[in-house]
Amino acid sequence: MILLPTKYLPPERTVIFIGGEVLALLASGPLLPGVISDRINDGRRIPVNFDTVALVLAFLYAIGAVEADGETIRLTAQSKKGLIDAH
């Protein structure tokens, strides 16, 4: 898995792109990692495996965009503010 797209890797297979999809999903509320994985794969021609979703969640956690709340993943307060300001 690569962070950014390249000549041979389409954007929809990168950490940044999938991370954006995860943030959009979490805007409606906390979700279990398995549910995030299922929803990310809805309508995809080539599915994203759970290991990739876990890597994306780890990346989002490392940059402070998401946090664990028990077994669920949710946006941090700063991420929620950023999503609201972006609209």
Structural domain count of the chain: 1
pLDDT of residue 47: 93
User: Is 23 a domain residue?
Assistant: yes
pLDDT of residue 85: 61
pLDDT of residue 6: 80
pLDDT of residue 10: 86
pTM: 0.87
User: Is 62 a domain residue?
Assistant: yes
User: Is 5 a domain residue?
Assistant: no
User: Is 4 a domain residue?
Assistant: no
pLDDT of residue 49: 94
Domain harbouring 26, CATH code: 1.10.10.10
pLDDT of residue 26: 96
Question: With a cut of 70, which residues of the chain have pLDDT below it?
Answer: 1, 82-87
Print the domain residue range for 57: 11-86
Which residues are CB-contacts of 53 (< 8 A; sequence separation ≥ 6)? 18, 22, 33, 36, 37, 40
